[in-house]
Amino acid sequence: MSAVVESIMGENAKPAGNSPSPGGALQAAEPVRTGAANEPQAVPRVATAKARRSSKRVAGSGLFMRVAPPLLGVALLVLVWQIIALKTSSFPTPWTTLKEAGVMFSDPFYRNSPNDQGIGWNVLASLQRVGLGFGLAALVGIPLGFAIGRVEFLARMFGPIISLLRPVSPLAWLPIGLLVFKSANPAAIWSIFICSIWPMIINTAVGVQRVPQDYMNVARVLNLSEWKVLTKILFPSVLPYMLTGVRLSIGTAWLVIVAAEMLTGGVGIGFWVWDEWNNLNVPHIIIAIVVIGVVGLILEQLLVALAKAFTYEQVNH
């Protein structure tokens, strides 16, 4: 009896011939491969095409944002200029000024007399004064900024002096220069020097003070000399701050020379503007304003490029 029961139970326990085995169940769960199995390979191609179209749209949008806003701004400025010219008879129109510019730049380096020269010579004379005054300011201001940032005693000593003299107008320094140097050209260079030195001192000193203390601790542990600390630690860390100060100073120097030359006379873009005003030649004054702006922009962009070349940081206007 027990043998019969066991035989019946054994037969019921056996899987049916049509029942899938565990392995068969796993195999049945797999998708059936057909000729359409190669279709997923087309997905990357579609995605690549969409990515290309998207990148073209982004590139086109970026080009539009770089070109359209400046052109729109210039068009708006010309429109306002034209409206003012229509309402004021003594004010030249953009077209009149453009024709005068064509005549002027056809021979920018003529020289009839010491006080009658082309705009090119006047710009070069101003740039020469800016180079001398700015160069002297850099030679004095950058080392002084390192010393002020490195030595607390010097920072406390020079801090009040810098705070007192930095806000002084550039034209206020010009009479002092005329009194001391007895000549217009050195007085103009002096005004550039005294006005452009402050950004370099302040930015360099702030850069030295913001050097991470861990760097200085390592230098102390390694017993580095002051010269190695300056060249290996301070200078690379301070360079972005220093170049920012230089960029600010060159803009200040260019502003100062235009104002100083209006008062000192001689050859220079500032004196040229004042001379054209005395002649009531308003188109030439407007042309000179544009030239002054373009030269200042070029100087600033050159220093921005220099800063990007020597630092890892992005330098912004």
Tell whether 236 is covered by a domain: yes
Rounded distance between C-alpha atoms, residue 123 and residue 291, angstroms: 9
Compute φ and ψ for 122, nearest 5 degrees: -65, -40
Tell whether 85 is covered by a domain: no
pLDDT the model gives residue 15: 43
Question: How many angstroms separate the Cα of 20 from the Cα of each of 10, 11, 23?
Answer: 18, 17, 8
| Structural domain boundaries enclosing 128 | 119-310
User: If you average pLDDT over each of 12-21, 231-240, 262-271, 287-296, which comes out highest?
Assistant: 287-296
Range in 6-10, 181-185, 303-307 with the lowest mean pLDDT: 6-10
| Gyration radius (Cα) of the chain, Å | 37
pTM confidence score: 0.73
How many separate domains does the chain show? 1
Rounded distance between C-alpha atoms, residue 205 and residue 151, angstroms: 10
pLDDT at 67 over 60: yes
Rounded distance between C-alpha atoms, residue 222 and residue 212, angstroms: 16
Tell whether 291 is covered by a domain: yes
Per-residue pLDDT reduced to its tens digit, 92-126: 999 999 999 999 999 999 888 877 888 999 999 99
Say how many Å lie between the first and final Cα of the chain, rounded: 102
Query: What tokens were used for 135?
Result: 């160069």
Give the H/E segment covering residue 41: none
From start to end of the chain, where are the E strands? Answer: 111-113, 116-117
Greatest Cα-to-Cα distance within the chain, rounded to the nearest angstrom: 140
Rounded distance between C-alpha atoms, residue 202 and residue 204, angstroms: 6
Q: Which DSSP state fits 92?
A: P
Strand partners, 117: 111
Rounded distance between C-alpha atoms, residue 230 and residue 245, angstroms: 19
Query: What tokens were used for 77?
Result: 């400025």
pLDDT the model gives residue 153: 95
pLDDT the model gives residue 46: 58
Q: Which candidate, 290, 263, 293, places its Cα nearest to that of 275? A: 263
Tell whether 135 is covered by a domain: yes
User: Confidence band (pLDDT; 50, 70, 90) for 28?
Assistant: very low
Range in 16-20, 22-26, 137-141 with the lowest mean pLDDT: 22-26
Tell whether 275 is covered by a domain: yes
pLDDT the model gives residue 175: 92
CATH number at residue 178: 1.10.3720.10
Average pLDDT, integer, range 308-312: 70
Strand partners, 111: 117
Contacts of 11 (CB under 8 A, 6+ apart): none
Return the sign of the alpha-carbon dihedral for residues 196, 197, 200, 201.
negative
> Distance from CA of residue 257 to its chain's centroid?
22
pLDDT at 18 over 70: no
Assess contact for 301 and 294: CB atoms under 8 A. Answer: no
Rounded distance between C-alpha atoms, residue 109 and residue 35, angstroms: 79
Tell whether 114 is covered by a domain: no
pLDDT the model gives residue 49: 63
Assess contact for 196 and 250: CB atoms under 8 A. Answer: yes
Per-residue pLDDT reduced to its tens digit, 257-287: 988 998 887 889 999 999 999 888 999 999 9
Tell whether 158 is covered by a domain: yes
Rounded distance between C-alpha atoms, residue 15 and residue 304, angstroms: 82
On average, the pLDDT of the chain sits at 82
Tell whether 256 is covered by a domain: yes
Percent over 70 (pLDDT), the chain:
79
Range in 20-34, 177-191, 297-311 with the lowest mean pLDDT: 20-34
pLDDT at 178 over 60: yes
